Amino acid sequence: MMGARLADALLSEFFYTVPCRIWFWGGTHTGFANMNSSPGMSIAQQTPEAALAALRSGAQGLSADEARRRLAEFGFNRVEAAAREPLWLTLLREFSHFFALILWLAAGLAFLAAHYDPGQGMAELGLAIVGVIVVNGCFSFWQTYRAEQALAALRQLLPQQVEVRRDGHTREVPAAELVPGDLVLLAEGVKVPADCRLVESWGLRVSLATLTGESKPMARSAAAAVDATADPLAARSLVLAGTLIVAGECSAVVYATGMRTEFGRIAHLAQTAGEVESPLQIEIRRVSRLVAMLALGLGILFFAIGQAIGLPFWVNFMFAIGIIVANVPEGLLPTVTLSLAMATQRMAKRNALVRHLPAVETLGSATVILTDKTGTLTQNRMTVRELFVGGRHHLAAERWPRADDLRLRAVARFCHGLKFPEGAEGTEGTLAPSGDPMEIALWQFAGAIPELGQRTGEIPFDAERRRMSVVSREAGGEGFLWCKGAPETVLPLCATWLDGDATRPFDAAAQIVFHRAHEDMTRRGMRVLALAWKPVAAEVGEPSEDAMELCGLVGLEDPPRPDVHAAVTRCHEAGIRVIMVTGDHPHTAVALAREVDVVRTPGPVVITGEQVRRMDAAHLQLALDAPEILFARVSAEQKMLIVQALQRKGEIVAVTGDGVNDAPALKTADIGIAMGLSGTDVAREAADIVLLDDHFATIVNAIEEGRAVFENIRKFLTYILTSNIPEIVPYLAFVLFRIPLPLTVIQILAVDLGTDMLPALALGAERPHADVMRRPPRPRHERLLSWPLLARAYLFLGPLEALGALAAFFCVLGASDWQYGQIPVPGDPLYPAYLAATTACLVAIVLAQVVHVFVCRHPLLPAWRFPLFENRLLLAGLAAEAALLLAIVYTPWGNHLFGTAPLPVDVWLFALPFVLLLGVAEEARKWLRRRIVARRFAPN
């Protein structure tokens, strides 16, 4: 461990010197964070020749010997794995948490009692408790254990082989063997293997979506002006590891590899982001401690009372163990775990894959959703939405047989750098082209158009010109120049414009009209291109881009998913705040937010990543008080800062994302939600929930299931805690009133781990109620085990069950010759009657729990509002409960194991009125509660 820390420290301080200047190549991401400028900064400010010289490389690349030396010095070009907790320690934690320790203590006491006073069922009790601990620990370990796959996922995003120039020859080498100074050759469709400075480039465009979330490919050029920006992600002369070349080709010199790249820095953020404890885990821990302390406290208290009144030590000791066992809900943890597991199965059917069980309930309690734009709210594909042709706005689907429309579509069809499978270009077949998504959208928009000559030349797109032109010529030599690009660069080169079939001069008035249209379309979130053309005479060699005819403007967008608007509306109804956090332009973000109902007011607050960088923590928290707020142009660290600021405000934050840039925020959030189809492996590994269909609407369905989980666990707690009272009261009566013990410890265990278990699980499988998404999220401070719940279980329903249980016990015992003060023991003539009496007490408790499970299905609504067959698991649980009870009462092995005796029918009938009393009393309470609620919210 000390050696690893020393190596990390040395690496973070590593630098490479050249005469007169110091060039930082990086270190670990920790080193980046502590420097005022990143390692890409100096290299981006140099010309290609100066960059090669600084890296001691050249046009021939490195020599093989020098590459081997640098590989030994800098290490492999791969992401290092974060240190992980040993598996044995992870498993051990499942058997050593506070609640498990209480159960170990109870088991140990039971074994101790069995050793000194055998034959009282204490050994069986100890084994049963140990079984609960082992089963629950192993199940929880299996459900929560996952190997950290982020390293493998990151490796898969990087190319395995790359073309590199060494010793003056081009060869393929494994990407892991790249070193600073290598000269690499990259072409369309290739993922960049390391952080590089461009040396030469031709029409290069790069998708940064995995690093920044920016949907629009960005132009990159070796000839770009010296970058003064402090952000390598914005430097136009750099290409970064993990990004995708979507058009063009280049040669570039590697300046950072492995964990020293921007990619590695973000990966390190995801690896080192602390695990966030879910609200449910916090509540379960609190409930476990409260219940355990209550059980221990009561056990010690009543042991002291027994000693004070003169009970024999071992009798008193068994009594104390009985109190502890009666108060500790041994089935709590396995039932909660299994309930969460069943909820994950229901969510999987709704296309939400849960990777961590507590995430189910956490999502249900979410108060804020931080959602990415590209691929989450949108379809992650460019389409043509709107045209400005002939001085008027048109929908993209409109067609009219005039020159302006035909010429516009011709430019869209022929001016591109796409690559086609053989036979695909110019056809409407199924063979789609590959290349820039924007060019694919224009090509598809244009539709089938007759070929207008053969393509003979191209002026490629670059970052300085911001436009592209293609020349096509017919057999006679005459041809056309097709041009598209940013309106700012195309409009000044136009002399005329098409208005229907007429050609008009592109004078000042026309320029104002088109500039206004451009601004309007940009303000509505579209990416706007100007399309122009001109005829080329046969004698002209290389035509110039001037005196063109403007065909019109084309507005492209990444359209929203069809069901997003309805899903966002459901979030508003459920009291969940939706905040968009994107790498796109603020105008694009606001326009989409309005379209999908994330923004409803005329003036939302829009904060850019640069503004977030300049804010301190308090300023950011205050900014988040705005009723509607959006974040644009944010980086991975800034997104994580926003998550942390919301958490400090007491919000339960869910974050959606699909790129590498989203991974740190996904891991920091209370609940991370990754896209399963379009998302990167890194994002999926960092997330708690993966959406299998990438639909934002699936998040809302998952929230509905999550809210139901919290309600179901409360139902379960009410159900099991209620039975604690009829289990404790017999012990109190035994000590205080010197009567025979009405319920033995092993019979308590039969209820807690036997008859109650399946009905309790059935309550955990209840489907969401219709109104669950019309209520605001529960407050973070709201407790799972609340005082109203305890009062209902311990002071109302529990005493009713205890009344019926003791009444049945005394009914059977009184029918024999028992006299007050007699304590039957084995061999005593009264002992068979005593066994029957304890059996009657057990039967009364179980029958009361059967009625209780129905009235427990909703805290306010009557039981008859819920169809009997709506929860088939409940019927199966009740059937299993009845079968187990009958086996305990009427089979020899049940009588022997649980100390019971067969009962006549009249005993069952005697218990029935007490059982029905519980149901009637609870329904009366709910009716009264509904009346109070109705009056409170009734209009005056």
Sign (positive/negative) of CA torsion 632, 636, 637, 640?
positive
Collect all residues with Cβ–Cβ distance below 8 Å to 643 and sequence separation of at least 6.
370, 653, 655, 665, 668, 669
Q: What is the rounded distance in angstroms from the CA atom of residue 121 to the CA atom of residue 117?
A: 10
Please state, as a whole number, how many other Cβ atoms lie within 10 Å of the Cβ of residue 171: 12
Which tokens sit at 556?
A: 């492209």
Which tokens sit at 621?
A: 């928290």
Residue type, 489: T
Q: How many CA atoms lie within 13 A of 302 on its CB side?
A: 26
Collect all residues with Cβ–Cβ distance below 8 Å to 235 and sequence separation of at least 6.
40, 44, 227, 229
Residue type, 800: L
Residue 555's nearest CA partner among 517, 583, 587, 589 is 517
* Residue bearing tokens 């909703």: 858
Q: Is 887:894 a contact under the CB 8 Å cutoff?
A: yes
Residue 218's nearest CA partner among 204, 232, 198 is 204
DSSP codes, 436-460: -HHHHHHHHHH------SEEEEEE-
Residue type, 573: E
Residue type, 445: F
Residue 588's nearest CA partner among 577, 578, 580 is 580
Q: What is the rounded distance in angstroms from the CA atom of residue 855 to the CA atom of residue 460?
A: 73
Beta bridge partners of 256: 195
Residue 652's nearest CA partner among 511, 522, 781 is 781
Residue 634's nearest CA partner among 378, 242, 371 is 371
Q: How many CA atoms lie within 13 A of 597 on its CB side?
A: 15
* Residue bearing tokens 């001085």: 391
Q: What is the rounded distance in angstroms from the CA atom of residue 172 to the CA atom of residue 733?
A: 85
Residue 582's nearest CA partner among 375, 382, 352, 437 is 375
Residue 223's nearest CA partner among 251, 197, 201 is 201
Q: What is the rounded distance in angstroms from the CA atom of residue 34 to the CA atom of residue 28?
A: 10
At 102, give phi and psi (nearest 5°).
Answer: -65, -40
Number of H helices, E strands in the chain: 36, 26
Which tokens sit at 787?
A: 């005082």
Q: How far lies 334's CA from each of 135, 139, 153, 328, in Å?
A: 8, 8, 33, 13
Catalytic residue numbers, as ranges: 372
Collect all residues with Cβ–Cβ distance below 8 Å to 270 and sequence separation of at least 6.
150, 663, 664, 666, 667, 682, 686
Please state, as a whole number, how many other Cβ atoms lie within 10 Å of the Cβ of residue 331: 21
